[in-house]
Structure 1
Amino acid sequence: MGVAQPVNFEALEAQARTLLAVFIAAGYEAVAPDIIQPAGVFLDVVGEALRGRTYVFTDLNGEELCLRPDLTVPTCRLYLQRHPAADREAFYSYNGPAFRFQPAGAGASHPREFRQSGIEAFGDKDAGEADARTLVLILRALQQAGLGNWKLRIGDVGLFDALLGMAEMPDRWRRRLRHQFWRPEVFRAELKRLSTEPARSTAALPAALIEALDPDDVAGAEVLVSEHLEKAGIELIGVRSAAEIAEGLLAIAADAKAPPLKPEAAALIDAYVATRTPALDAAGVVRKLAGKTSDGLGQAIDAYERRCKLLVESGVDMSKVDFSAEFGRNVGYYTGFVFEVLVDALGPSSPVAGGGRYDGLLKAVGAPHDVPAVGGAVHTERLLTVVRGGKK
């Protein structure tokens, strides 16, 4: 054991040099983001699945910090340190450790400390071209590192958003479904509730209070909530404010008075998220499902088709690429194209690489506006295992 670890480290370092050489040659500057990060930034943007696996601690000054669970957010923060106005293009590459809690028995493919080698592009002018360039560069780096056979799974959160925009429903329901998209079982349960009993969420709440709330009177709702809390003897200490509670209750009250989601809208959403097809067939499948498309959905489909065309022109073997509408990875900040590189030796739960588009992330971590951005990262321990012919 004591001898094997240094050998493995040396092999990982050699592999990292190969990967970084490909990225740097393509114009991506090598950077080294901080390992220790402000916890609040991560916990706000990474999504529920990753939030619960982040190592969080408080330093002697009382500041809540975390060990970075990925390198994308730290690279975003580095970009903003250099360009506070977020008004320049920048292309970065990196290699370093990340940290995530793993349950007992997770296996060697899911260590608590692992390395990522990847790229991030900020401020790109052409989203489709940047998406294709990112994926092609990741595949080229994997090939240079010795990976031969692979499969690719792609998705498009933008297509899902456009489909939701076309369905007739309140905006709060769209936001709720979009928020739950990353958790398939919860998403299905929420879709079923909205299409059958949207008022079910009021069951455990004071009926008189819910009935008295007027969705058009936010200030009055806050007064009613404050009065209710006072009568019940409930103090707001270290929890949400009365205004925040009122906002949530107003949405619940509105649900209680709303008709269910129309069956045809629920069926369309359900059919879409169940779609799994060869990547080049996906646009036709979505068009057929939607029947008539809105401007937003039409534009999203056109963007998807152009991206596929660019991948074909770049030499990607599209016979090895599948589209999964439900696929969005387990990170909550993606807004468009997403991908994972899979190998048979590790299976679908242990991708060798992955990434996607995250146009809203820079603003969430402090930029004055949204910034187009896309990136991808290689899980280097998994890559080394496969290249050496190992199993899980």
Structure 2
Amino acid sequence: MAYQTIRGTFDILPDAHSSGGSTIQGAAAWRWVEGVVRDAMARFAFEEIRTPVLEPLELVARGVGGTTDIVQKEMFVVERSKESYVLRPEVTAPVMRAYLEHHLEQRGGAQRLYYIGPCFRAERPQKGRYRQFHQFGTELLGSDDPRADAEVIANLRAIYDAFGITGTRLRLNTLGDAADRPAFRDALRAYFAPHADVLSATSRQRLEANPLRILDTKDERERTLLADAPRITDFIGDDARAHYDALKGLLDGLGVPYVEDPLLVRGLDYYTRTVFELESDALGAQGALAAGGRYDGLAQAVGSKKPVPAVGYAAGIERLFIALAEQEVVLPEAPRPDVFLVCLGDAAEAAGFGLAQTLRRAGLAVDFALGGRSMKAQMKAADRSQAAVAVILGDDELTAGVAQVRDLGASAQRTVPIDQLALALTRDAP
């Protein structure tokens, strides 16, 4: 039986390839993306954190929210020894767990953390949406200062600017504080109840469990109803309103454009006050490149005795690649060797094996063929490798203590003493 990747997952290979009708970029492009993200994070003084992909089920259920689609429909659950675990569907709750477990507040000041890694959701695979997908993001924990909100948004904007992504929109809203929510929920229920026959089965369930989720609908009939629906901004308290006004002032001062969207609620229950989403037309109906907000109540939801003010975002790497392709950004390809050794005969193969290690210690990338192949076959392999030069060793060269160095681009060839090869090739290397 020929095994294949599970539906909704993919391999990252040395070169780009097609999987499920989508182009999956090669490993070099992924490393480049991660490098750009890490450089931007360093400029904002964010430090990397890595959490396990396997987390307690209760952590995710309590952190993300029991009424969310993630908890109700999309988690990959693992049962073992009467314990339930989940492949993490997002990283914010795990980062908060790590913050609390390791008492990171004792490091002093607000903690600026970032992550890069895979997440898992049992969704229907489609363009830019997979069952194993990859995210990068920030979590700024320990500050309720509006500048923290502005800082993570500025960081998000800086990263997409570094990639050269244009044509994006930053949507912004406030959800107020937890105390503001009940009155807004009641107002939404009162508004939508007479229209229950128009609502989908999913939205009718949300009407009872969490009517804010209806504001996130993509159903066109339901979106028509939203035009006259109550707005959260009519229910928020003075503190939340002052926080939101301060944030908008900070973004205006930084020259970060945004569009206020009173219907933006996000799909996770832990958000309070600020929520935001960065959209791109390149992604179609599911247009979010990244999204986030403030989640001051999350720490207590997952067991902390004290609140931990926090704000952050998550960004999809697969969706970033779609936007990069739309903008025709040229991505790095698999690295090519500097040198390809062509060895003719047993003695040359033995000498060439040691020579490869010598050249590598000098900082050169070296490849060679295995299995005693003919010179013609080895030269074809050298051409396929796209190495800069081929170093040819045979019995005559070994006797004379030299090697033939052939420029594979210009087809020029010269003779170089073997003991001077490393110096000559490193001098010529770009």
Q: Report if TM-score (shorter chain) is over 0.5.
A: yes
Match of 2:229 in 1: 270
Q: Deviations for 1:285-329, whole angstroms, at most 9, x for unmatched residues?
A: x5xxx5xx8xx6333322222111100111202xxx222223211
TM-score, normalization by structure 1: 0.64
Counterpart of 1:162 in 2: which secondary structure?
A: helix
User: Which has the larger Rg?
Assistant: 2
Question: In the TM superposition, what is the alpha-carbon distance from 1:161 to its structure 2 partner?
Answer: 5.4
Maintained 8 Å contact 1:334/1:359: yes
Match of 1:157 in 2: 175
Alignment of 1:49-60 (within 5 A): 49-51=69-71, 52-59=73-80
Change (3 A) 1:14 1:84: closer
- The one-letter code matched in structure 2 to 1:50 is I
Match of 2:142 in 1: 123
Change (3 A) 1:8 1:88: same
- The one-letter code matched in structure 1 to 2:241 is I
Alignment of 1:1-392 (within 5 A): 3-5=15-17, 7-47=25-65, 48-51=68-71, 52-59=73-80, 61-83=81-103, 89-103=110-124, 106-126=125-145, 128-158=146-176, 162=180, 165=183, 180-184=210-214, 270-272=229-231, 286=233, 290=234, 297-317=237-257, 321-389=258-326
* Segment of structure 1 superposing worse, 308-317 or 176-185: 176-185
Change (3 A) 1:346 1:107: same
Question: In the TM superposition, what is the alpha-carbon distance from 1:374 to its structure 2 partner?
Answer: 0.3
Question: In the TM superposition, what is the alpha-carbon distance from 1:98 to its structure 2 partner?
Answer: 0.5
* Gap regions ≥5 residues in structure 1: 170-175, 188-266, 274-285
Q: Distance in 2 between matches of 1:83 and 1:180?
A: 33
Q: Distance in 2 between matches of 1:153 and 1:147?
A: 16
Question: In the TM superposition, what is the alpha-carbon distance from 1:336 to its structure 2 partner?
Answer: 1.4
Q: Distance in 2 between matches of 1:115 and 1:92?
A: 17
Question: In the TM superposition, what is the alpha-carbon distance from 1:129 to its structure 2 partner?
Answer: 1.0
* Segment of structure 1 superposing worse, 158-167 or 71-80: 158-167
Q: Distance in 2 between matches of 1:25 and 1:179?
A: 42
Structure that is richer in strand per residue: 2
Counterpart of 2:164 in 1: which secondary structure?
A: coil
Q: Distance in 2 between matches of 1:167 and 1:331?
A: 16
Counterpart of 1:336 in 2: which secondary structure?
A: strand
Q: Distance in 2 between matches of 1:75 and 1:160?
A: 22
Structure that is richer in helix per residue: 1
* Gap regions ≥5 residues in structure 2: 1-10, 18-23, 188-205, 218-225, 329-430
- The one-letter code matched in structure 1 to 2:84 is E
- The one-letter code matched in structure 2 to 1:325 is P
Question: In the TM superposition, what is the alpha-carbon distance from 1:355 to its structure 2 partner?
Answer: 0.6
Question: In the TM superposition, what is the alpha-carbon distance from 1:331 to its structure 2 partner?
Answer: 1.1
Q: Deviations for 1:244-300, whole angstroms, at most 9, x for unmatched residues?
A: xxxxxxxxxxxxxxxxxxxxxxx9x93326xxxxxxxxxxxx5xxx5xx8xx63333
Percentage identity across paired residues of the two chains: 27
TM-score, normalization by structure 2: 0.59
Q: Distance in 1 between matches of 2:47 and 2:110?
A: 12
Match of 1:253 in 2: none
Question: In the TM superposition, what is the alpha-carbon distance from 1:88 to its structure 2 partner?
Answer: 5.3
Counterpart of 1:366 in 2: which secondary structure?
A: coil
Question: In the TM superposition, what is the alpha-carbon distance from 1:335 to its structure 2 partner?
Answer: 1.2
Question: In the TM superposition, what is the alpha-carbon distance from 1:348 to its structure 2 partner?
Answer: 4.7
RCO (CA 8 Å, sep 6+): is it higher in 1 or 2?
1
Question: In the TM superposition, what is the alpha-carbon distance from 1:165 to its structure 2 partner?
Answer: 4.9
Q: Distance in 2 between matches of 1:10 and 1:32?
A: 21
Q: Which runs of 4+ in 1 moved over 4 A?
A: 84-88, 163-169, 176-179
